[in-house]
Amino acid sequence: MTMTTYASPDFTGSAQTISVWAPNAERSVHLVADGVRSLMRSGDDGWWHSREPLAVGSEYAFSVDGGDLRPDPRSLLQPEGVHGPSQVVDLGEYEWSDAEWQGHHTRAGGNGLEGAVFYELHIGTFTEEGTFEAAAARLDHLVDLGVTHVEILPVNAVPGRWNWGYDGVNWYATSSAYGGPQAFQAFVDACHAKGLAVCLDVVYNHLGPNGNYLPVFMPIYNEARQSPWGTAINLDGPNSDEVRRFIIENALMWFERFHVDAFRLDAVHALVDESAVHILEEIVANLEAAAERLGRRVVVVAESDRNDPATVTPRRREPVTGEIAVADGGSSGLGLTGQWADDIHHALHVLLTGETQGYYEDFADPEALAKVFTTPFFHDGTYSSFRGRRHGRPVDPAQTPGWRYVASLQTHDQVGNRASGDRLSHLLSFGRLACGAALLLSSPYTPMLFMGEEYGARTPWQFFTDHDDPEIAAATSRGRAEEFAAHGWGDEVPDPQEESTFTNSTLDWSELDDTEGESALLLDWYRTLIRLRRDEQALAADDLGTTRVERRGKGSSSVVVVHRGDLRVVVNLSDEPVTEAGEVVAAWHTVDVREGRDGSGSSVVIPTDSVALLR
């Protein structure tokens, strides 16, 4: 199998020819634009083309074989929602100011994640207004914090007024609720002006249940394959070449037309593809080719449940002849830049909270923390009780740097998929939150924060939807309650269809108004740790296997000492203060630093739920 190199669809100009891939059409495809109905011209391989170009701002839809009007599968804007007509947009109209921007400059000067710190946010709940413009007004907060990448949850069109973004049905359309495509371009431009890279979360493994009209046009599903969401996307069945093109050109559009720097690919383990060249490898190859052509950098990070280092193992580079990259016998890996490492989250969560239910059970192992600080996969061929089988594969520390793995204390999934969307700040003291921050930000991995984590936000982040189909809405509400009823949480689960579930999840920035309070102290602690991660060679090191973890005591009532080069991160989760010798590099505000009387150096008394970094 060969890999064709693609380019982003044009989507520019004051008048545009409208084309649609509709091989499912048996007789005809009609275009209805601004109230005028016309027969489209049949082209090659199932493509249909408008006979006249449409002006920017025109609203249009398609009728396949005389059926109901449906939006364009490649629509850029759905002004009346996912069921309404599409609108012609000129993506070349925005005047960019980021000509000098080349992306996050890593320590090695390459395309990796060295030195990166991610910050995950949801545009709709990051601010009260819930728009790109309002989010841009908060960028100085992120710059002061010291993060390098703003990772935003999916921005494509979804049913209703609010959604996490994973129910997307128009992969090319930017949500009008957030401001639409030009507002997104302006947001990315504003990030670049502040020195922030933008990582976009994209979903190619499934489509939402409400407003998905792609099957009217194309064989988007492979009936012979199943995924966790039902029938799998058609990545390797008949007519799958154009489906793959549909996906790859979408990624190229975000990169080329919206200047996105990085991608987080949702649940890649659910991309069912038995092709010789996996869709992930083809996405990466095309993005890298575009980056080289444009003189930019691109980063591709996967969310994967497979614990397989092949995801980030560099792919074999194939020679390019014309428009075809010719495979030369296979590749050594899929070649993604990095991947999420949930095992690190699980080990940290169990240590800090003591929770051991569900998939946390295995991480009650006293050796779990020590293992995940030297390899990202706790399950690397070992038995997983949650799965009831062996899981994962070892990572070779000599071949794989720690920066390839994204680690976190909280994410949209780990918070939002709790029954009531409670954050660590609802479960832990501020001192213990500071301990967690020190462990994460001193690790050899690429850290990621979830919006509000840096100041201990008290607002929950819950699962919310706004489905307008009564049956889907009822099933969503019912399913959410039933999902947690087995845990005894049935009465506490917010109804995802209630507006209050969405509004309650919006960050309350007034929590930072008290500049002397614990939220301000925690924010300053995060700033300090991120600065030290950049300035201290020991914390910047990402060689796996060089970190050593020492545990004194048991479970979540222990003293943890993480050795990173000449630094020690001493975390006291026990019931008694501990005294440690050494030069204090940084400490949570409750510690007591004591200078030696004979000039022999200082020591520090670390009370319970507190932490110090010592040299």
Q: Is the pLDDT score of 7 beyond 60?
A: yes
Q: How many CB atoms within 10 Å of residue 1?
A: 10
**Which region among 3-7, 89-93, 499-503 has the lowest average model confidence (pLDDT)?**
3-7
Give the pLDDT band of residue 599 (cuts 50, 70, 90): low
Helices (H), 258-320: 279-294
Catalytic residue among 90, 151, 266, 343: 266
CA-wise closest residue to 437 among 286, 254, 569: 569
Q: How many CB atoms within 10 Å of residue 58?
A: 17
- 464's tokens: 């919310």
The three-class DSSP label of residue 492 is: helix
Interval 65-77: pLDDT, tens: 999 999 999 999 9
Q: Which residues of 346-376 are buried (b: 16+ CB within 10 A; e: fewer)?
A: bbbbbbbeebbeeebebbeeeebbbbbbbbb
CA-wise closest residue to 358 among 232, 248, 488: 488
Q: What is the pLDDT of residue 594?
A: 83
CA distance 594 to 77: 62
266 belongs to the catalytic site = yes
**Which region among 1-15, 140-154, 346-360, 373-387 has the lowest average model confidence (pLDDT)?**
1-15
CA distance 182 to 132: 10
**Which region among 128-142, 431-445, 510-524, 598-612 has the lowest average model confidence (pLDDT)?**
598-612
Structural contact between residues 580 and 571, judged by C-beta atoms closer than 8 angstroms = no
Q: What is the mean pLDDT of the chain?
A: 93
Arithmetic mean of pLDDT, 469-480: 94
Q: What is the pLDDT of residue 62?
A: 98
Q: What is the pLDDT of residue 318?
A: 57
CA triplet 568, 345, 417: central angle to 5 degrees?
150
Catalytic residue among 72, 261, 281, 303: 303
CA distance 112 to 116: 9
Which DSSP string corresponds to 550-566?
EEEEETTEEEEEEEETT
Interval 487-526: pLDDT, tens: 556 568 999 999 999 999 999 999 999 988 999 999 999 9
* Percentage of residues of the chain with pLDDT beyond 70: 94
Structural contact between residues 142 and 187, judged by C-beta atoms closer than 8 angstroms = no
Q: How many CB atoms within 10 Å of residue 156?
A: 26
CA-wise closest residue to 74 among 61, 63, 64: 61
Arithmetic mean of pLDDT, 222-247: 96
List of residues 6+ apart from 470 with CB closer than 8 A: none
Give the pLDDT band of residue 105 (cuts 50, 70, 90): low
Interval 327-354: pLDDT, tens: 344 447 999 999 999 999 999 999 999 9
CA distance 159 to 476: 13
Structural contact between residues 567 and 585, judged by C-beta atoms closer than 8 angstroms = yes
Arithmetic mean of pLDDT, 129-154: 98
Which DSSP string corresponds to 420-486?
T---GGGTS-HHHHHHHHHHHHTSSSEEEEETTGGGT--S---------SHHHHHHHHHHHHHHHHT
Arithmetic mean of pLDDT, 158-184: 97
Q: What is the pLDDT of residue 2?
A: 63
CA 487, 490, 492, 495 torsion-angle sign = positive
303 belongs to the catalytic site = yes
Arithmetic mean of pLDDT, 346-363: 95
- 181's tokens: 């495509």
Q: How many CB atoms within 10 Å of residue 321?
A: 9
CA distance 168 to 177: 13
Q: What is the pLDDT of residue 601?
A: 66
pTM here is 0.95
Element at 153 (helix H, strand E): none
CA distance 596 to 591: 16
Structural contact between residues 67 and 216, judged by C-beta atoms closer than 8 angstroms = yes
- 219's tokens: 């064989």
